[in-house]
Amino acid sequence: MSPNVLALLPEIILTITGVLVMVAEPVLPAGQSRKPLGVLAILGTLAAGFASWYQLGFGTIHAYFNTIQVDSFSVFFHLLIAAIVLVTLLSSLDYFEGHASHAGEYFALTLFGATGMMLMTCSVELLMVFVGLEISSISTYILAGFRKGQASATESSIKYFLLGSFATAFFLYGIALAFGSTGSTRIDVISQNLASTATPTLALLSLALIIIGIGFKVSAAPFHVWTPDVYQGAPAPVVGLMSTAPKAAAFAVLLRILFSGFPSYEPRWASLIWIIAALSMTVGNLGALLQRDVKRMLAYSSIAHAGYLLVAYTAFPADGIASACFYTAAYAAMNVGAFTVITQIGGYRENVRTIEDYSGLALKRPVLAAVLGFFLLSLIGIPFTGGFFGKFYVFSAALHAGHVWLAVIGLLNSGIACFYYLRLLASLYSRRPAIEDNLFDGITVTLPAALALTITAAATLLLGIAPNQVLSLAQRSAAATAPGSANSTTNASR
Amino acid sequence: MTVPISYYLVLAAVLFSIGVASFLIKRNIITIFMSIELMLNAVNLTFVAFAHMWHQITGQIFVFFVMVVAAAEAAVGLAIIIAIFRTRRTLNVDQVNLLKN
Of the candidates A166, A180, A296, which has its C-beta nearest B50's C-beta? A180
Q: Where are the domains of chain A?
A: 3-493
Q: Which residues of A358-395 are buried (b: 16+ CB within 10 A; e: fewer)?
A: bbbbbeebeebbebbbbbbbbbbbeeebbbbbbbbbbb
Q: Contact B77/A149, CB-based, under 8 Å?
A: no
Q: Contact A179/B88, CB-based, under 8 Å?
A: no
Q: What's the pLDDT band for A15 if we cut at 50, 70, 90?
A: very high
Contacts of residue B33 in chain A, CB cutoff 8 Å? 162, 165
Of the candidates A134, A292, A293, which has its C-beta nearest B69's C-beta? A134
Among the listed ranges A62-76, A117-131, A305-319, A433-447, which one has the minimum average pLDDT value? A433-447
Q: Contact A166/B43, CB-based, under 8 Å?
A: no
Q: Which residues of A325-344 are buried (b: 16+ CB within 10 A; e: fewer)?
A: bbbbbbbbbbbbbbbbbbbb
Of the candidates A166, A177, A185, which has its C-beta nearest B58's C-beta? A185
**What number is the average pLDDT over the span A412-416?**
94
Q: Name the most confidently modeled range: A100-109, A148-157, A185-194, A436-445.
A: A185-194
Q: Contact A158/B84, CB-based, under 8 Å?
A: yes
Number of separate domains in chain B: 1
State the complex-level ipTM.
0.96
Q: Contact B66/A172, CB-based, under 8 Å?
A: yes
Nearest CA in chain A to B21: A166
Count how many pairs of residues, chain A against chain B, have C-beta atoms within 8 Å. 124
End-to-end CA distance of chain A: 40
The pLDDT tens digits for A207-266 are 999 999 999 999 998 999 999 999 999 999 999 999 999 999 999 999 999 999 998 888
Say if residue A491's pLDDT is above 70. Answer: no
Contacts of residue B96 in chain A, CB cutoff 8 Å? 155, 158
Q: How far is CA A314 from the centre of its chain?
A: 20
The pLDDT tens digits for A287-328 are 999 999 999 999 999 999 999 999 999 887 767 889 999 999
Of the candidates A150, A154, A185, which has its C-beta nearest B62's C-beta? A185
Are A62 and A68 a contacting pair, CB within 8 Å?
yes
What pLDDT score was predicted for residue A493? 36
What range defines the domain where residue B84 resides? 5-88
What pLDDT score was predicted for residue A488? 39
The pLDDT tens digits for A343-377 are 999 888 888 888 888 888 888 889 999 999 999 99
> Most B CBs within 10 Å: which of A138, A154, A156, A187, as the mutation test of the B interface?
A154
What pLDDT score was predicted for residue A482? 65
Contacts of residue B97 in chain A, CB cutoff 8 Å? 155
Handedness of CA A93, A99, A104, A107 (dihedral sign): negative
Say if residue A455's pLDDT is above 80. Answer: yes
Q: What's the pLDDT band for A70 if we cut at 50, 70, 90?
A: very high
DSSP codes joined into one string, A264-318: GGHHHHHHHHHHHHHHHHHHHHHHHHT--BHHHHHHHHHHHHHHHHHHHHTSTTH
